Amino acid sequence: MQAARLHEYTEDMTGALSIDDVDRPTVERSDHVIVEVEGAGWCQTDNHIIEGMWEGYVPQELPMTLGHENAGVVTEVGDEVTLVEEGDPVICHPVQTCGICRPCRLGEDMYCENSEFNGLTADGGFAEYLQTNERAVIPLPEGVDPIDIAPHADAGITAYHAAKKAVRELNPGDTAVVIGIGGLGHIGLQCLEAMSAVNIVAADVKDEALELAEQLGAHHTVDSSEADLPSVVADLTDDVGAQQVLDFVGADETTGYAPDLVADGGDHHVVGYGGHIHEPCQALVDGEFSFRGTLVGRYTELQELVSLVDRGDVELRTERHDFDEINAVAEQLEHGEIEGRAVVLPP
């Protein structure tokens, strides 16, 4: 089969992945599931993997097939698999977990001590077929297109995971700020709107992103290239600030908003990454606010997100690309030219 493989780390996206002929994956364990990939989302994390940003955090053996936002149709299952069968459409959680380590027993499967992450530590879905396991597949409701929903396997669940953490701390009438209404931010905004009764402020530097935010339920929009976001939020909240901030950019500038943007006792959720946090300890002590990281989400949260999609509460903006355009997609995303999420169609 054909697969898009990373052979060496590079900052040049124009030829980052090579399309190779590799062996089709097979069932090697009783819990394995083989999925014929119909859609694979391209994520900013794929660019970061190509650049080698993850090499110091997780074990990676090159060459490796990238692609961690996958959905398709089951073609083969192991002897002990009962959740799905051949012909079932599924979305694939990117993390294959063991189910028996202590974090898994506690329901914190993202902290699984024996996990494999498709497209990050194991071969992913930029290919015709994907090997995963029963604990990572979620059957799709009738009428849900695997191509359309594929990016929810990471972009969607990550945005939902951040929004769910924020909603736990929000009361009706509170203010939440969403920074960056892009591929993840437009999902996170919808999740906040669907799950809470708060005032949502959306910040971006693009007019089209702010227009999209208004369409999706934002109560206020701010062009942060022209206005000082903390000052605007202070005016809207009588100097209280935002109880919860969802930062889908994760740049030095956006994390730097926190001391003046977050209400006392609130949280600044860092979802996007690439920047740094440089704040005096006294600022955190004085405001008793927290920076909270967000990495994907639990299997059960992907189930919950699929339910929101099926209900029509969350809409995903996507554009489709042929498999041989895969490096062009990487380059376009590097330059901020992808609106919403890009989905690669395997050959």
Statement to judge: residues 325 and 273 lie in one domain: no
Q: Are residues 274 and 288 in the same domain?
A: yes
Pick from 293, 314, 337: which residue ends a domain? 293
Res 242 pLDDT > 90? yes
Same domain (yes/no): 289, 305: no
101 and 23 belong to one structural domain: yes
- CA pair distance 120, 87, nearest whole angstrom: 27
Q: Is the pTM of this model over 0.75?
A: yes
Q: Which of 297, 310, 235, 239 is nearest to 269 (CA)?
A: 297
CATH at residue 19: 3.90.180.10
* Domain with 233 in it: 158-293
Q: Which amino acid would we find at residue 304?
A: E
Cα radius of gyration (the chain): 20
My answer on whether 110 and 87 are in the same domain is yes
- What digits encode the pLDDT tens for the residues 130-187? 999 999 999 999 989 999 999 999 999 999 999 999 999 999 999 999 999 998 999 9
Give yes or no: residues 174 and 283 share one domain: yes
Place of tokens 């594929």: 150
Confidence class for position 92, pLDDT limits 50, 70, 90: very high
- What average pLDDT does range 251-267 have in this prediction? 97
Pair (193, 228) in one structural domain: yes
Give the Cα separation of 149 and 153 in Å (integer).
8
What is d(CA 343, CA 74) in angstroms, rounded to the nearest whole number?
A: 19
CA 64/CA 286 separation, integer angstroms? 46
Alpha helix segments (H runs only) across 245-325:
252-255, 258-261, 281-287, 299-311
47 & 111 share domain = yes
> Per the structure, how many domains does the chain have?
2
- What is the C-alpha separation between 104 and 112, in angstroms, rounded? 6
Residues counted in the chain = 347
| Reported confidence tier of residue 274, pLDDT bands at 50, 70, 90 | confident
Torsion from C-alpha of 124, 43, 154, 192, nearest 10 degrees: -170
172 in the same domain as 117: no
Q: Are 130 and 32 contained in the same domain?
A: yes
